[in-house]
A and B are shown apart, each in its own frame.
Chain A
Amino acid sequence: MIAITGFGAISAAGGNVAETLDAFSLAKRNAGEVTLFDTSLRYPVFEAKHIPDEFFLEGRRTLSLALIAVDEALRSAGLGDDLSGLRVGVCLGTTVACQLNDIDFYKAYRDSGSAPMSPVDRYLKGNIAEYISRRFKAQGPSLTVVNACSSGTDAIGVALSWLNNGLCDIAIAGGADELNRVPLCGFGSLGIMSMDLCAPFDRDRKGLNLGEGAGVVVLETNESAQKRGVISDLYLMGYGSSGDAYHLTAPHPEGAGLRISIKKALADAGIGHREVSFVNAHGTATPDNDLVEGNVLADVFGKDLKMLSTKGFTGHTLGAAGGLEAVFAAVGLREGWIPANAGFENKDDAIPLIPVREKTAIDGRYAVSTSLAFGGNNAAIVIGRI
């Protein structure tokens, strides 16, 4: 089994896991207008409020967010900032940091045929997994997963495969993404963003709010954890992934790929659906996602499932979402409670499930976190507490 020996998180809900739990407990929703860049678009967004100086990187906000979460995760795992003596892999998901989408650079090139290369240099040196590997002198495999909104969950799944196959003993895995003008315009053009605060699974949901952040887990073989004298009660039990083979932007109407992903993850974990105490759903608050996901979850787990989306606290953080939600699922198991599904008020008759309306005690040993993405990617992980 693969232990989760550390985790870290930053989002609008908090600059670390403890702050996030406070926001969850108090049902604080820290959304507002965009302050990070000039825009004419007035959608509410969830910005991370503070980047400490030691993590600030000019023009590379995604890396700053990743650094904060990785630093917290490594510290909680009892690891320092020099990993050179260990076999550590780094697998992180993102959407923004993989693209050369610096508008000022491009405009200068387009207008004059030449442009300063500093944004290009930042981009070339800013591959998120490569950067984190170098920064912490990690000697194992390094890979950036760019699977749109399931990137973080898939990155954790890749790390699980690495550990299962002996490619490393420890893996830093998760995702990070900054709030950026390009996806803000892009999601706006798709007509799936809400002008109000998002309301996952609610009857009157109008779409998603974008957010930003990073969520990272430290995964470790039992042998490595024992060798370091680290005892963990949390484990990454399983991962499943499947393509819808259906449409570039819309989920399969019956959630074919999501269903397969969840079943694969459960089979990987060697548990049945009745053993799952709660599901941290993708729950973006778009009409399509929540309809499909809610129905699949009800089919697989039954109508009494405790489930929630934490995007009411973080917004949709794209490549970071899977990492953040893995951390939240793990913390929920350890703390014995999950927060309210922020924004939910009215049951949607087309969705057979009702998300938790308030801070809710949970007592089981297993949690599932799901991600659905552009392109029909679906991914699910099972986290256990033993």
Chain B
Amino acid sequence: MNINGIGIVFTRGRGIDSFEKALQEGWRTPSQVEIKGRKSFAYQVDAQMLSDKRLLKKMRRADKLSKMAVIAAYEALAGSGIGDFNKKSIGIITATAFGAHVTTFDFLNDILDYGEANVSPTTFSNSVHNAAASYISSLLNIQGPTLTVTQFFFPFHSALQLAQAWLNEKRCDYVLVGAVEQYGDVLGYIYDSELTPASDGMIKPFNFNPTYQVPGEGSVFFLLSNKNHDDTFCEIHNVSINADEKDTLQADLDIIDTDGLVADESIYKNCLSPAIPVAAYSPLFGSMMTGSAFNCAAGALMLKKQTVYANPVADNPKGLNIVGETGRSNIELLRCIRYNCHGEKAEIYLRGKPNGEGREVNRQNQG
């Protein structure tokens, strides 16, 4: 299947152009946050980015999570350049790890402060995990299958696999697949309690051990189909979870999802080859269980623009073959890799736009 459009909202802006700009400009210090008197860092989305009165006028009372998701989904559709959608044939799959936890805690505040019989129905409605997907459906008038899925490590990969299945079964012509996460002080507290916060605000993706996390928030959506439009970014060649090593393909570049959300990320070394450059972009958007979606967006941009982007944080204590400079490059196949804390691996292979800029070549198995 192909990526026909990408919509994104993250700490540095809204829209795929802002993401590309961040990839070109490199790392910036995230905002400082205070959690119950303790100073920490987080990659937060500024409220100004969500002040789209035209798009969001019917969801004024919705939470930040839903607004981010709606904006990203809208951008993916609008940016695709496809104007003649049958809204009944677009599916939505929203992947999230923590969902509307901030609104859930607001609802718990209601229970604690006002009593069980005096809680807000609006807060409750918005705390339900599928509220974001429902807002996407109603605001963009999409009437295809609408699903929200959750896991702690591979929800985005699973959503992609399901999207391919839906397209194969012709349940829909297009699928909007996205990820969304929101930062909140309780989540920050949990991250900082369970994992090592980056005291300088810098995720160091190639450190592997010890690791440092900086929580992030945002949303990225992909418009996927089996169609190849003018503005198509690339093909999602394959998505695998726990695949046999013999099925591993040799890519031109590997993007790894290291972001400090696993205490020891040394396992990533096992899948990297000295001959293949490696990149990691989590320092641009923060540590998120669904961060794979953001790295996937970076990969899609690389293939479309035939440009590699320098690693935003280039600390390289293991001497890896990391991407050092931004510049033009012939990239045909790109692999995004994520491991979970059980050592299981998920991979997304992106390939240059079919019949377009990317060249067809025979690939040899690595294993």
Interface residues of A (CB under 8 A from B): 39-41, 95, 98-101, 103, 106-107, 109-110, 113-115, 117, 120, 124, 127, 129-130, 139, 141-148, 154, 157-158, 161-162, 164-165, 167, 181-182, 184-191, 241-249, 256-257, 260, 264, 373-377
B99 touches A146 (CB 8 A): yes
14 contacts between A and B (CB under 8 A): A95-B128, A117-B194, A124-B152, A147-B146, A161-B169, A185-B107, A185-B110, A186-B125, A189-B120, A241-B145, A241-B146, A241-B171, A243-B92, A248-B135
Task: Specify which of B92, B121, B142 lies most central, judged by the most chain A CB atoms within 10 Å of its CB.
Answer: B121
Instruction: Mark the stretch among B13-21, B156-164, B304-312, B353-361 that contacts chain A.
Output: B156-164
> In whole angstroms, what is the CA distance A32 to B26 when docked?
60
> In whole angstroms, what is the CA distance A244 to B99 when docked?
21
- Residue of A at shortest CB range from B154? A142
B108 touches A106 (CB 8 A): yes
Query: Which residues from A are CB-within-8-Å of B119?
Result: 185-186, 188-189
> In whole angstroms, what is the CA distance A143 to B162 when docked?
10
Total B residues in contact with A, Cβ cutoff 8 Å: 67
CB distance from B292 to the nearest CB of A (A): 15
- Residue of B at shortest CB range from A130? B151
Query: Which residues from A are CB-within-8-Å of B150?
Result: 98, 127, 144, 146
Query: Which residues from A are CB-within-8-Å of B115?
Result: 40
> In whole angstroms, what is the CA distance A279 to B38 when docked?
56
**Given A161-B162, A248-B125, CB of A182 within 8 Å of CB of B151:** no
CB distance from B158 to the nearest CB of A (A): 5
A141 touches B241 (CB 8 A): yes
> In whole angstroms, what is the CA distance A187 to B36 when docked?
31
> In whole angstroms, what is the CA distance A114 to B146 when docked?
37
B151 touches A143 (CB 8 A): yes
B117 touches A40 (CB 8 A): yes
Q: What 5 A-B pairs have minimum CB-CB distances, sorted nearest first?
A: A375-B134, A113-B36, A186-B124, A146-B129, A241-B145
Query: Which residues from B are CB-within-8-Å of A264?
Result: 171
- Residue of A at shortest CB range from B38? A113
Query: Which residues from B are CB-within-8-Å of A243?
Result: 92, 134, 137-138, 142-146
CB distance from B31 to the nearest CB of A (A): 20
Q: Interface code B314-335, partner A: CB below 8 Å = 1, 0 otherwise?
A: 0000000000000000000000
A165 touches B164 (CB 8 A): yes
CB distance from A186 to the nearest CB of B (A): 3
A375 touches B151 (CB 8 A): no
**Given A101-B104, A143-B162, A256-B143, CB of A165 within 8 Å of CB of B135:** no
A162 touches B145 (CB 8 A): no
Partner of B144 from A115, A127, A129, A242 at Cβ < 8 Å: A242
A374 touches B130 (CB 8 A): yes
B290: CB under 8 A from chain A?
Answer: no
B87 touches A245 (CB 8 A): yes
> In whole angstroms, what is the CA distance A181 to B124 when docked?
12
Partner of A161 from B117, B120, B166 at Cβ < 8 Å: B166
> In whole angstroms, what is the CA distance A191 to B117 when docked?
10
- Where chain B touches its partner, the secondary structure class is helix
> In whole angstroms, what is the CA distance A225 to B124 when docked?
43
Partner of B104 from A100, A144, A154, A249 at Cβ < 8 Å: A100
Query: Which residues from A are CB-within-8-Å of B32?
Result: none
CB distance from B138 to the nearest CB of A (A): 5
B130 touches A375 (CB 8 A): yes
> In whole angstroms, what is the CA distance A158 to B155 when docked?
14
**Given A245-B142, A374-B134, CB of A145 within 8 Å of CB of B108:** no
A148 touches B164 (CB 8 A): no
Task: Specify which of B126, B127, B134 lies most central, judged by the most chain A CB atoms within 10 Å of its CB.
Answer: B134
A188 touches B117 (CB 8 A): yes
Partner of B108 from A101, A124, A161, A248 at Cβ < 8 Å: A101
Within 8 A of A (CB), among B165-190: 165-166, 168-169, 171, 186, 189-190
> In whole angstroms, what is the CA distance A148 to B128 when docked?
7
Query: Which residues from A are CB-within-8-Å of B108?
Result: 101, 103, 106-107, 182
Please give 13 more A-B residue pairs, beta carbons under 8 A apart, in addition to A188-B119, A190-B124, A375-B131. Answer: A40-B115, A98-B129, A114-B189, A130-B152, A143-B158, A185-B111, A188-B116, A188-B117, A189-B119, A190-B121, A244-B137, A247-B138, A376-B137
CB distance from A266 to the nearest CB of B (A): 14
Q: Interface code B186-204, partner A: CB below 8 Å = 1, 0 otherwise?
A: 1001100110000000000
B82: CB under 8 A from chain A?
Answer: no
B270: CB under 8 A from chain A?
Answer: no
Partner of B151 from A103, A114, A129 at Cβ < 8 Å: A129
Query: Which residues from A are CB-within-8-Å of B87?
Result: 245
> In whole angstroms, what is the CA distance A312 to B314 when docked?
62
Query: Which residues from B are CB-within-8-Å of A144?
Result: 149-151
Query: Which residues from A are CB-within-8-Å of B105?
Result: 106
B276: CB under 8 A from chain A?
Answer: no
**Given A145-B149, A241-B147, CB of A164 within 8 Å of CB of B125:** no
Query: Which residues from B are CB-within-8-Å of A142?
Result: 151, 158
Query: Which residues from A are CB-within-8-Å of B143?
Result: 242-245, 256-257, 260
